[in-house]
C-alpha cells in the first residue's frame, strides 16, 4: 500500500502517518525527519537543507527527489510506505509518479488532513519535538508525562525553530502556493481522500482506517 499524507504544516500528517505505519506494518517516511537527521549529523545535505528550512521555505526539488528515490531502494519499502511531507510540489509528485510507473505501481491513497489556518498556529506553537528520537508531542493535545521530557527516550523536548510564529506564517504561505495544488492533482488521479483533521487525533485515525479498509 502506497500512501501519501497531504495537509498544511502542523495538520497532523506525522501523527497519523506513525499510526498508519504501525497498523499496516509499512515504513513511515518523513522527508522533514530525514533532513533533520542530516542537520543533526552535520552532513553536506543537512547544511544545504537548513538554509531553506530555517526560513520556512522548501528545499529544492532536485535535492528532495534524489533523497526519496534512494530511500525507496531500501528493503523495507517492498510492501509500500506512508509518505509524510513528500511530495510538496507538482514536480515532486510528477517525479514520484514516473518512478512508480517504471515499476508498474501507483499511489493508492492521498489522504488530505484538513485543518484551517487559524488552528495551525496553535498546533505548531504547542508542538514539542524530541531532540533524541524525533517523537512529537503537543503541550495541550498530546502532552508528555513529564513536561519537556520524551516519554520514549527520556531526552529533552524542544520547540522547533521553524515552529516559531514568524516562520509558521511563511510556511503556511508556501503551503498554499506550492503544496495545496497537489489536492487537485490527486483528485484528478482519483486517489484523493479528505479527512477532518480538527477532530481528536484518535478519531482522525478511525476515519483514515475506514478509508484504507474500503
Ligand atoms: P505535521 O506532521 O502535519 O506537521 P504533526 O503530526 O507534527 O503535524 O502535528 C502538529 C502538532 O499538532 C503536534 O504537536 C501534534 O501532537 C498535534 N496534533 C496532531 N493531530 C492533532 C489533533 N487531531 N488534534 C490536536 N492536536 C493534534
Ligand atoms: P516537515 O517536517 O514535513 O514539516 O518539514 C520541515 C521542513 O523541511 C519544510 O518546511 C521544508 O523546508 C523541508 N522539507 C521537508 N520535506 C520537503 C519536501 N518534500 N520538499 C521541500 N522541502 C521539504
Residue ranges covered by each domain of the chain:
2-204
- Cβ of 56 closer than 6 Å to ligand 1, yes or no, is no
Name the strand (E) or helix (H) holding 108. Answer: none
55 a catalytic residue = no
* Ligand nearest, relative to CA of residue 64: 2
48 a catalytic residue = no
**pLDDT digit string (tens) for 120-136?**
988 999 999 999 998 99
Quick one: cell of 72? 525507496
Nearest of 165, 207, 145, 178 to residue 8 by alpha carbon: 178
* Ligand nearest, relative to CA of residue 83: 2
Sign of torsion, CA 164 170 176 178? Answer: negative
> Ligand 1, closest atom to CA 15?
6
Cα-to-centroid distance, 27 and ligand 2 (Å): 18
**C-alpha 173, offset from chain centre:** 17
Please report the pLDDT score of residue 26 as a whole number. 98
36 a catalytic residue = no
Name the CATH superfamily for 2-204. Answer: P-loop containing nucleotide triphosphate hydrolases (3.40.50.300)
- Cβ of 172 closer than 6 Å to ligand 2, yes or no, is no
Name the strand (E) or helix (H) holding 184. Answer: helix 181-188
**CA 146/CA 156 separation, integer angstroms:** 10
Tell me the mean pLDDT in the region 2-21.
Answer: 98
Tell me the mean pLDDT in the region 21-46.
Answer: 96
Grid cell 498530546 is found at 142
Please report the pLDDT score of residue 214 as a whole number. 82
**pLDDT digit string (tens) for 187-213?**
999 999 999 999 999 999 999 999 999
Answering whether pTM is above 0.85, one says yes
Tell me the mean pLDDT in the region 134-145.
Answer: 95
Residue nearest to atom 5 of ligand 1 (CA): 12
> Ligand 2, closest atom to CA 30?
3
**pLDDT digit string (tens) for 161-194?**
899 988 999 999 999 999 999 999 999 999 999 9
**pLDDT digit string (tens) for 62-112?**
999 999 999 999 999 999 999 999 999 999 999 999 999 998 999 999 999
The best mutation among 5, 12, 83 to test binding of ligand 1, ranked by most ligand atoms within 8 Å of the C-beta, falls on: 12
- Cβ of 53 closer than 6 Å to ligand 2, yes or no, is yes
Cα-to-centroid distance, 4 and ligand 1 (Å): 16
The answer to whether 39 touches 49, Cβ cutoff 8 Å, is yes
DSSP state letter for 142: B
Amino acid at each position: 500500500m502506497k500512501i501519501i499524507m497531504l495537509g498544511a504544516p502542523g495538520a497532523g500528517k506525522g501523527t497519523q502517518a506513525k499510526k498508519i505505519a504501525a497498523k499496516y506494518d509499512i515504513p513511515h517516511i518523513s522527508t522533514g525527519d530525514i533532513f533533520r537527521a542530516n542537520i543533526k549529523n552535520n552532513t553536506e545535505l543537512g547544511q544545504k537543507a537548513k538554509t531553506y528550512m530555517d526560513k520556512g521555505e522548501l528545499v529544492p526539488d532536485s535535492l528532495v527527489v534524489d533523497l526519496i528515490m534512494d530511500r525507496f531502494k531500501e528493503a523495507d519499502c517492498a510492501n509500500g510506505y506512508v509518505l509524510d511531507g513528500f511530495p510538496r510540489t507538482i514536480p515532486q509528485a510528477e517525479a514520484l509518479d514516473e518512478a512508480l510507473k517504471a515499476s508498474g505501481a501507483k499511489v493508492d491513497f492521498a489522504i488530505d488532513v484538513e485543518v484551517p489556518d487559524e488552528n495551525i498556529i496553535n498546533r505548531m506553537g504547542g508542538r514539542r519535538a524530541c531532540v533524541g528520537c524525533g517523537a512529537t508531542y503537543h503541550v495541550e493535545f498530546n502532552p508528555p508525562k513529564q513536561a519537556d521530557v520524551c516519554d520514549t527516550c527520556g531526552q529533552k523536548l524542544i520547540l522547533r525553530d521553524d515552529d516559531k510564529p514568524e516562520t509558521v506564517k511563511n510556511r503556511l504561505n508556501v503551503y498554499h502556493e506550492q503544496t495545496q495544488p497537489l489536492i487537485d492533482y490527486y483528485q484528478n488521479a482519483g486517489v484523493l481522500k479528505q479527512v477532518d483533521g480538527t477532530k481528536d487525533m484518535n478519531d482522525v485515525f478511525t476515519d483514515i482506517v475506514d478509508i484504507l479498509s474500503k
